[in-house]
Amino acid sequence: MAAAAMLIEPAPDKTLDAQFRRDVLTGLSQPRKAIPARWFYDHRGSELFEEITALPEYYPTRAEVSILSQRCDELAEAIGRGRVVVEFGAGSATKTPLLIDCIAPAAYVPVDISGDFLRESCAVLAERYPNLPIHPVEADFSRPANIPSELKQHSRLGFFPGSTIGNMDPFAAVDLLRTMRATLGEDSLLLIGMDRIKARDTLVCAYDDTAGVTAEFNRNLAVRINRELDGTIAIEALRHRAIWNEQRARIEMHLEATRDIAFEVAGRRFTMQAGETIHTENSHKYDPRSAATLLYAGGWEPQCTWSDGDENFMVIVARA
């Protein structure tokens, strides 16, 4: 049975390094250069993202934390106690405890592709919650994952905070929501954070801060390519751009060449003309209706939606 199941599974994951190389080379070979946003998060990139969350212009983290802390009673009522929390992405030290404190879960299952991030966040939580069973799963959460079988008798709550869903275009987001439903199973709930559509200036400033941290975060992708893939990209010739795409309701980040440049990556040669960009991130924004439509399409029925006082951000509980 196990052997037969293995035969029909897709080829095992290539190593992360090989995936990075493939995504960068493919992305730089397209007529419109683009690299998936997941590759921002090397060690330095994760540090820079932490810094971003504390910037005055970057409202999403503060807004989400304020919802989770101020709506604890309502969250507990909507979710109930004793569920198994399955967090997609290794938990953040600030958000996960807010959830655990209000719903007293039966166990905590962080799913993350990076064993390092997993170990780190498990260690922090184990210290804080010595009686909470923690079952880390090292896996790509965009594929169906197996929840440890000893937890099967509990219903589950998927936890997907931070507006991470915003990095996906709606097609991929619906795919991911359906995969989460398959991972979580019958009777499950999903607690998801989504960033709201708002004034263009507020959005652009959140992704183009005056301290230049987001610019460094964006350029760090090129630094990583140079280091890990033998790249020769002239970092100082790349300018950070944050653009509001009104039609698609998303912030786009790009690295724009300020002059004609040529470089190598992994032995291959690429050129950029002045003004040409590498598209490095999409951050889709939703209003309550478009959020609900996305969730329905992904197999989830919204039950409750909460926003912060400024209506910057939404936290939604949906049921399978």
Contact residues: ligand AVJ, CB under 6 A? 52, 60, 162-164, 166-167, 207, 214, 217, 281, 283
Task: Pick the closer one to ligand AVJ by CB: 156 or 250.
Answer: 250
Angle at 210 (CA atoms; ends 207, 211), nearest 5 degrees? 100
Phi, psi of 13 (to 5 degrees): -50, 135
Task: Pick the closer one to ligand AVJ by CB: 58 or 263.
Answer: 58
One-letter identity of residue 295? L
Task: Pick the closer one to ligand AVJ by CB: 156 or 241.
Answer: 241
One-letter identity of residue 37? A
Shortest distance in whole angstroms from residue 6 CB to ligand AVJ = 34
Shortest distance in whole angstroms from residue 208 CB to ligand AVJ = 9
301-307 and 277-284 beta bridge pairing:
unpaired
Task: Pick the closer one to ligand AVJ by CB: 157 or 253.
Answer: 253
Shortest distance in whole angstroms from residue 189 CB to ligand AVJ = 21
Shortest distance in whole angstroms from residue 60 CB to ligand AVJ = 6
236: exposed, middle or buried (C-beta count within 10 Å: 0-12, 13-18, 19+)? Answer: exposed
Using an 8 Å Cβ cutoff, are 183 and 145 in contact?
A: yes
Shortest distance in whole angstroms from residue 214 CB to ligand AVJ = 5
Shortest distance in whole angstroms from residue 185 CB to ligand AVJ = 26
Task: Pick the closer one to ligand AVJ by CB: 74 or 287.
Answer: 287
Task: Pick the closer one to ligand AVJ by CB: 110 or 166.
Answer: 166
Q: Using N-to-C axis directions, what is the helix angle for 72-79 and 95-103, rounded to 10°?
A: 60
Task: Pick the closer one to ligand AVJ by CB: 188 or 218.
Answer: 218
Using an 8 Å Cβ cutoff, are 19 and 35 in contact?
A: no
| Rounded Cα–Cα distance for residues 185 and 300 (Å) | 11
Encoded tokens for 238: 């790349």
Shortest distance in whole angstroms from residue 27 CB to ligand AVJ = 17
Element (H, E) at 87: strand 84-88
Contacts (Cβ under 8 Å, ≥6 apart) of 172:
none
| Rounded Cα–Cα distance for residues 120 and 91 (Å) | 9
